[in-house]
Amino acid sequence: MTERLTIGFLPLVDACLPILAHEHGFAEEEGLELSFVRDVSWATVLDRLLYGHSDAAHLLAPLAIATTLGRGRPAQRLATPFVLGLNGNAITVSNALADALNTQGELCDPALLGERLKKIAHERSEAGNPIRFGVVHRYSSHNYMLRYWLAGCGIRPDEDVEIVTIAPPFSADALDAGEIDSSCVGEPWNSIAVEKGVGQIVLATAQIWRRGVEKVLALREERLTEIRPAVEGLIRAMRRTGKHFVNPDNWDTNAAILSRPEYCDAPHQLVRRAISDRLVLRPGEQVLEYPDFMFQFHEAANFPWVSQAEWLYSQLVRWDGLAYDRSAAKAAANVFRPDVYRSALAATDSPLPTANSKVEGSVSETLEASVKGGTILLENNTFFDGLSFDPDMLERYIEGQK
């Protein structure tokens, strides 16, 4: 018997796994019939999830936590049994700011770029015209990565620079109109700004945190319990899709599907570039390959590490001006559900980490991590400032980042 699942998403390249699981029949093989609801704001994706229009959604990881903690609306518990991907975002600056920063059309060193930016940010702030960044949502990894980088470079978000919310499809126009000086957004929207000649890509968020959690598959906790076998089937289907997705032989086919009007509605060429970790930083320049750009499969990228949820909680507390709260921290940690991921994939050859948490940012050279029945290799997952996040020290980490 087939079970129907409705999945909400925003037109972004990293909605790829559920979409391709449907298109390539991997979901069907698990007895699932998927249908999709495409929206243009996260608020609406979330509304549909909370009021039963969708069973699951492609969602910003921090938004799943903020919703559970009742930030901005009454608390509703969400559950994340699967990470849809790591990173995949970039920071694009206006041509004027790129000139001022003297970027040479390459991905910059984050610390060096921050140093140069700091000087300009202070000048602009003193002149009463602070640099303004656009991010996709208040509770987004884009916002947290950007703020982590700025603060780490001695630039105080909200004081030295402004950070505003802007919907991804409008970020290129906003750069062009001078409404913002820079944006932190997912693909294909950076590349669209470059194509239009209104901005230049200067950093990939992977340079800020090499293996940062990005979108997740989110469900209401209650709904997850109700339809758990179907969700486990979906997890298996998406793992198989991930393997297909990272195979270069399939890039053309996958880009063709994702660029369709009902999905990303974006130029094929730009989607293909993003899914193959390629970027054009400035108009007319050579394509640059940056293998760490987005991560959908390898290194157990889809495993919902509880430590990732806890890091996001540390940033939510930091930027919402809250104090550490033990029960809130626990509720945030519980959003990520490695138990569901494990039970879904127990009978497959997908590597299943034996731990639920890890020290984030601690791997600077290839490391063997133990998984059920063996090991997998974890590559560099550092933060740009060399600090690491030990979830056992959550409270101290939060105190230290004031």
Partner 1 sequence: MRIAIIDESPLRASIIEEGLASLRDCEIFTLTSRDGLLAKIAEIGPDIVFMDLGNPSRDVLEEYFAVSRAVDRPIAMFVDQSDDDSIAASVQAGVSTYVVDGLSAKRIRPLLDLTMQRFNAFSRLQSELAEAKGKLQERETVDKAKRILMASKGLTEPAAYAELRQKAMSSNRRIFDIADAVVTAHELMEGK
Of 101 and 135, the one with the shorter C-beta distance to partner 1 is 135
Q: How far apart are CB 41 and partner 1 at their closest, in Å? A: 4
In this complex, which beta carbon is closest to partner 1, that of residue 168 or of residue 212?
168
- Dihedral angle at the C-alpha atoms of 355, 360, 366, 370, nearest 10 degrees? 0
Q: Which stretch binds partner 1 (CB under 8 A): 36-44, 258-266, 306-314, 368-376?
A: 36-44
Rounded Cα–Cα distance for residues 146 and 208 (Å): 8
Please, which residue, 37 or 359, has the CB nearer to partner 1? Answer: 37
Q: Figure out which of the listed residues 1, 51, 284, 366 binds partner 1, where binding follows CB under 8 A.
A: 51
Supply the minimum distance, in Å, between the C-beta of residue 386 and partner 1: 31
Q: In the complex with partner 1, which residue's Cβ is closer, 74 or 248?
A: 74
Nearer to partner 1, 41 or 401 (CB): 41
Q: Say which DSSP state 333 is in.
A: H
Rule CB under 8 A: say whether 42 interacts with partner 1. yes
Using an 8 Å Cβ cutoff, are 71 and 62 in contact? no
Calpha distance 391→332 (Å, rounded): 12
DSSP-assigned letter for residue 109: P
Burial class (CB in 10 A: 0-12, 13-18, 19+), 396: exposed
Under rule CB under 8 A, which residues in 337-376 are in contact with partner 1?
none
Distance CA 15, CA 8 (A): 9
Judged by CB under 8 A, the stretch of 72-80, 209-217, 307-315, 341-349 that binds partner 1 is 72-80
Distance of alpha carbon 246 from the chain centroid: 17
| Dihedral (Cα; 167, 172, 178, 179), 10-degree rounding | 0
Q: Is 74 in the site for partner 1 (CB under 8 A)?
A: yes
**Beta partners for residue 35, in sequence order:** 6
Bridge partners of residue 133, in order along the sequence: 163, 182
Residue 77 identity (one-letter amino acid): R
Q: Identify the residue whose tokens are 């996001």.
A: 312
Q: Which stretch binds partner 1 (CB under 8 A): 43-51, 101-109, 202-210, 337-345?
A: 43-51
* Footprint of partner 1 on 121-150 (CB under 8 A): 136-138
In the complex with partner 1, which residue's Cβ is closer, 167 or 371? 167
Q: Residue 44 Cβ, how far from partner 1 at the closest point, in Å?
A: 5
Q: x/- site string to partner 1, residues 159 to 198, per CB under 8 A?
A: -----xxxx-xx----------------------------
Task: Rank residues 311 and 319 by Cβ distance to partner 1 and give the closer one.
Answer: 319
Nearer to partner 1, 179 or 395 (CB): 179
CB of 7 within 8 A of CB of 54?
A: yes
> The tokens 């140093």 sit on which residue?
115
Residue (105 or 169) nearer to partner 1, CB: 169
Which of 3, 47, 265, 285 lies at the binding interface for partner 1 (CB under 8 A)?
47
Residue 35 interacts with partner 1 (CB under 8 A): yes or no? no
C-alpha dihedral over 319, 321, 325, 328, to 10 degrees? Answer: -50
Question: What are the phi and psi torsion angles at 294 (to 5°)?
Answer: -135, 150
Binding span for partner 1 by CB under 8 A among 33-41, 105-113, 263-271, 368-376: 33-41
β pairing state of 132-135 and 162-165? parallel
Q: Which residues bind partner 1 (CB under 8 A)?
A: 39-44, 47-48, 51-53, 72-74, 136-138, 164-167, 169-170
